[in-house]
Amino acid sequence: MTNFDAPGARALETARVRGAQYADVRFEEGRTERVEVRNGDVVTLADETSTGYGIRAFCDGAWGFASSPDLTGAGIDLTAARAVAIAKAGASVAARRFAQAPLERYVDSFETPCETDPDTVSLGDRVALLLEAERSLHVKPEIAVGHAWIDLWRTDKTFYSTTGSRIAQALRQSGSGLAALAVGNGDAQQRTHPGDVGLYQSGGWEIVELAALRENAARIGEEAAALLTAPQCPAGTLDVILGASQVSLQIHESCGHAAELDRIMGWEANFSGTSFLDPAQLGTLRYGSDAVTIVVDNRMPRGLATAGYDDEGARSVAADIVRDGILVGFETSRDTARTIGRETSACVRAQNWQHIPMIRMCNLNLLPGNLPFEALFEDVDHGIYMESNRSWSIDDHRLNFQFGCQVGWEIVRGRRTKMVKNPTYAGVTPQFWQSCDAIADERSWTAWGTPNCGKGEPMQTGRTAQAAAPARFRNVQVGVGYN
Amino acid sequence: MDEAGREDVAQRVLGLAGGACEAIVVDSDVGLTRFTHNAIHQNLAERDTSVRLRTIVDGRTGVAATNDLSEAGLRTVVTRAQASAGLAPRNPNAPALAENPRVAAPPGAFDATLAAVTPEQRAEIAADVFRVADAGGVWAAGYVTTERSGITLANSRGTLSSYDATTCGLNVKVNGADATGYAEFFGRALAGLDGAAVATVAVDKARAGAAPQPVEAGAWTVILEPPAFGELASYLLDHFSAQTYDEGSSFLSDGLERRYAGERVTLGDDFAHPLHAGMPFDYEGVPTRRLPLLEGGTAKNVVTDATWSKRLALPDTGHAEPAPSAAGPQARHVVVSAGEQSREALIAGTKRGLLISRFWYIRPVDRRRTIVTGMTRDGTFLIEDGKLGHGVRNMRFNQSILEALARAEFADTQALTAGYSYSIVVPAVKMEGFHFTSVADF
């Protein structure tokens, strides 16, 4: 990790001289490596690095942000001056003030766990794994496209502030997955593994191995082909069991985004929307059933958003959002938390050095229940078990949703029976979570990463996690969109 | 970084790499002033310059990229690209690099005034929005953005092309007590960023939509304003890729020269359309062709890049994405042809229907059948006996886009509309039998 102490000090001093009452600067060195195989061809062998810094300046109750890759003294001076000028421009027309200068000071370092450094795995071995796994998808002639990929990400970042903070973090994240597209019978059906985007977690090569691509490829290919002739998912009001990765998506869309306090305050109103939640509901709103407890945990070892500190230099914490079904907290930043008289939950992140930090859901976990996965089926007379997301849409208040999965199996009198295609379900967020009456235990609880969460303008791609186990929901509207 | 600077970086890295290779240098300077509750809350400037190197050694391809433009940084990116290429399996179908002619940017791509805009100017445009919103007793959320960008592509066969552009956008959502309204502007010239004018449209919509009433779900005649239709139509774009066409996941996979939509539906890819003024070459340096995609509802072409041109024995239409691109070629400058009636005439000719300002969170439900779902937002109104009526509560739809286009009528005026993953020129459109499946309580 490069030592940025000297340019960091220069950036802060320039901002101060230009008139900033507070400033911070975040230097980042990022490296992303991707290998991708498609129908036997290695279509991607990419190795990308990006280094730069983003400066936040606080002037008269307004923030300015400027970023640059120019690490020369002149470049740093120019960027710091730009951040201050932008803050002053904002302050000049501000009828109200959103911001207050931070006071905290941390001198610390943090590293995500990494059992096997990906650098110890040759490019040749990475390619060989994907070629073998992708080839194994083609178990049926209907498989028109096989696809396999590996992503290896490394981010070294150092944060400095005018309060004296110096925080160095080394974050390692890895992911991989498979997809099989089957075409035939006038239809096209896709299956993916693991989950819908692959398995993404903090860590090294061990995360790729955990995905077990070779071991699951043939099954995924078989299922994709079988979907072409599977019957349509029935429509009606049925019980639903969602696989763990779909529960992760459900948390992400209907809780994670809904509980972002910037969104609740209208900061995202023009793009990703607002929220049905309100600070006045804290401690009183029944968000879900007693079985539902959802927590922020940004230091959990394998979360894709795991970090010691967020991107405004606040220390990561564990905090409840929903406890035993009751709404008790939000994902917050310093500025937003202050408006409700609380401390930040340190959920501020930027996509990279180039972008302004803002509230992200980070690691948001549904705590596991106490039933083995198989036991979820025993009490279902007629229902659908659905796996792996295919379609997701929710309104801009995060209330009315409609999700679709890649595959379903009809449940009849407690037993999983025939495969059905195009399973969809719809609901309204609090009613849906109140219908959750059982969650599988920790043996099927996984920290599912979402590597592609969009928010903000210019839009940033965030890396979030939602640890989840399969869960059961009663009396759900199923089959929407096809009936 | 100007054109000369980018060309210098590109030639330096090509010189270091030697052999068959291609360099793409991209420079961008983005300013964005974001506001909510009639005050600025996020105000930023982002700047970066990077180089992407693709090396091809005996059918083996490697790609590396960096924003370290020092001699050491460029040497490192060469080493990494070549290391990847050295370990890649040989792909006998990989197309060779070609020498491509230099092509000029279309008129209107670059506005020097916009390129020099300051944070103070963006703040003043935002302040104009605040004044209109304050006067209307509502609050506005949105952004003012300005961007200057440049791209230079060079390869070892002698291709050298550059494109400089400016873009700007003004996005205003106005929030009343129980209704919201939306208006926008996207373009390439600063003169279009009229905060008061755009805010006035949004305020008028929020006022007109106050006390929204529920209407029944089911099949409706709808008139979609350009932001709504643009987002809906964006879910067709990937279907025009030679890759999805060949692999069977496109609605076009049943073949070209077949009728897929109504006879009034004509759309094409046209980088030179005045509202696009887009990049005239693709990310392989191939001049981009202006080509029809649907004419009178009949499929005419798919877009290709070097790989898919070779694979399907079709002309290379110049629609490559930056390497590596597993998604294949893409139509980046789609234009939906206008009709003959004004938007007002379409409304006047509607017995009972809905005027929809904007959609939200459209996602595919059944890709091959082009069924998508999404919600209305920020201004939905009842039309009765040819007149605009009260605001309507938001609704969810599930609808095949192609089926909706089977009986489409288009307004006579086009607009550029954009989202985070698309930029498209469309008119307002009237469609019959648009299926809504549920009604929200807001």
* Chain A hits for B77, Cβ within 8 Å: 49
Distance from C-alpha of A423 to C-alpha of A55, rounded to nearest angstrom:
47
Domain presence at residue B141? yes
Find, among A111, A151, A160, the residue nearest to A3 by Cα: A160
Q: Mutation target for A interface from B13, B34, B43, B307: give the one with most A CBs within 10 A.
A: B43
**Same-domain check for residues B222 and B120:** no
Per-residue pLDDT of chain A (483 residues; tens, 9 = 90+): 999 999 999 999 999 999 999 999 999 999 999 999 999 989 899 999 999 999 999 999 999 999 999 999 999 999 999 999 999 999 888 666 777 889 899 999 999 999 999 999 999 999 999 999 999 999 999 999 999 999 999 999 999 999 999 999 999 999 999 999 999 998 999 999 999 999 999 999 999 999 999 999 999 999 999 999 999 999 999 999 999 999 999 999 999 999 999 999 999 999 999 999 999 999 999 999 999 999 999 999 999 999 999 999 999 999 999 999 999 999 999 999 999 999 999 999 999 999 999 999 999 999 999 999 999 999 999 999 999 999 999 999 999 999 999 999 999 999 999 999 999 999 999 999 999 999 999 999 999 999 999 999 999 999 999 999 999 999 999 999 886
Interface touch A42/B89, C-beta < 8 Å: yes
Q: How confident is the model at residue B91 (pLDDT cuts 50, 70, 90)?
A: confident
Interface touch A87/B124, C-beta < 8 Å: no
**Same-domain check for residues B197 and B217:** no
The beta-carbon neighbor of B40 closest among A90, A131, A457 is A90
For the record, the structure tokens of B76 come out as 């490192």
B89 touches chain A (CB under 8 A): yes
- Chain B residue at shortest CA distance from A125: B87
B87 touches chain A (CB under 8 A): yes
* Chain A hits for B68, Cβ within 8 Å: 49, 51, 69
Q: Mutation target for B interface from A396, A401, A425: give the one with most B CBs within 10 A.
A: A396
**Same-domain check for residues B248 and B198:** no
**Same-domain check for residues B187 and B219:** no
Interface touch A396/B93, C-beta < 8 Å: no
Name residue, tokens 């036997």. Answer: A40
**Same-domain check for residues B159 and B278:** no
Q: How confident is the model at residue B324 (pLDDT cuts 50, 70, 90)?
A: confident
Q: What is the pLDDT of residue A483?
A: 66
Last residue of a domain, one of B160, B176, B202: B202
B364 touches chain A (CB under 8 A): yes
The beta-carbon neighbor of B39 closest among A44, A79, A95 is A95
Domain presence at residue B42? yes
Q: How far is A267 from chain B (nearest CA, A)?
A: 6
* Chain A hits for B357, Cβ within 8 Å: none
Find, among A60, A110, A71, A84, the residue nearest to A12 by Cα: A84
- Chain B residue at shortest CA distance from A49: B66
Domain presence at residue B78? yes
Interface of B with A in 102-121 (CB under 8 A): 118-120
Last residue of a domain, one of B154, B179, B202: B202
Domain presence at residue B291? yes
**Same-domain check for residues B189 and B298:** no
Q: Which residues, 6+ apart, have CB-to-CB distance to B349 below 8 Å?
A: B341, B386, B430
Express each pLDDT in B409-440 by its tens digit: 999 999 999 998 899 999 999 999 999 999 99
**Same-domain check for residues B221 and B93:** no
Interface of A with B in 81-100 (CB under 8 A): 82-83, 85-87, 89-90, 92-98
Q: Kindly tell me the burial class for residue A16, based on how many C-beta atoms sit within 10 Å of its own C-beta (0-12, 13-18, 19 or more).
A: middle
Q: How far is B228 from chain A (nearest CA, A)?
A: 14
Q: Mutation target for B interface from A41, A149, A270: give the one with most B CBs within 10 A.
A: A270
Last residue of a domain, one of B202, B227, B244: B202
The beta-carbon neighbor of A395 closest among B118, B172, B360 is B360
Domain presence at residue B195? yes
* Chain A hits for B46, Cβ within 8 Å: 66-67, 354-355, 458
A391 touches chain B (CB under 8 A): yes
Interface touch A69/B67, C-beta < 8 Å: yes
Count of domains forming chain B: 2
* Chain B hits for A456, Cβ within 8 Å: 42
The beta-carbon neighbor of A38 closest among B49, B89, B326 is B326
For range B264-275, the mean pLDDT = 98
Measuring CA to CA, how many Å separate A447 from each of A194, A237, A437? Answer: 12, 30, 21
For range B331-340, the mean pLDDT = 98
Q: What is the pLDDT of residue A95?
A: 67
**Same-domain check for residues B135 and B8:** yes
| DSSP calls for A403-420 | EEEEEEEEEETTEEEEEE
Domain presence at residue B207? no
- Chain B residue at shortest CA distance from A94: B39
**Is pLDDT above 90 for B27?**
yes
Measuring CA to CA, how many Å separate B44 from each of A63, A69, A89, A90, B179? Answer: 9, 15, 11, 10, 30
**Same-domain check for residues B274 and B423:** yes
Distance from C-alpha of A179 to C-alpha of B283, rounded to nearest angstrom:
26
Q: What is the pLDDT of residue B95?
A: 87
Domain that holds residue B297: 212-442
Q: How far is B346 from chain A (nearest CA, A)?
A: 28
Beta-bridge mates of residue A417: none
Q: What is the pLDDT of residue B90?
A: 87
Q: How far is A35 from chain B (nearest CA, A)?
A: 10
**Same-domain check for residues B144 and B163:** yes
* Chain B hits for A336, Cβ within 8 Å: none
Which parts of A184-285 fold into alpha helices (H)? 205-210, 213-227, 244-251, 261-264
**Same-domain check for residues B336 and B293:** yes
Delineate the domains of chain A, giving CATH numbers in brackets: 5-227 (3.30.2290.10), 236-478 (no CATH)
Domain presence at residue B365? yes
User: For the domain that residue B54 is a member of, what is the CATH number?
Assistant: 3.30.2290.10
B308 touches chain A (CB under 8 A): no
**Same-domain check for residues B195 and B256:** no
Q: What is the pLDDT of residue A340?
A: 95
B395 touches chain A (CB under 8 A): no
Domain presence at residue B372? yes
- Whether B33 and B126 have beta carbons less than 8 Å apart is answered as yes
* Chain B hits for A141, Cβ within 8 Å: none
Distance from C-alpha of A357 to C-alpha of A167, rounded to nearest angstrom:
16
Interface touch A87/B442, C-beta < 8 Å: no
| DSSP calls for A15-31 | HHHHT-SEEEEEEEEEE
| Predicted ipTM of the assembly | 0.95
**Is pLDDT above 90 for B93?**
no
For range B103-116, the mean pLDDT = 96
Interface of B with A in 20-79 (CB under 8 A): 30, 32-34, 36-50, 52, 61-68, 76-77
* Chain A hits for B1, Cβ within 8 Å: none
- Whether B167 and B186 have beta carbons less than 8 Å apart is answered as yes
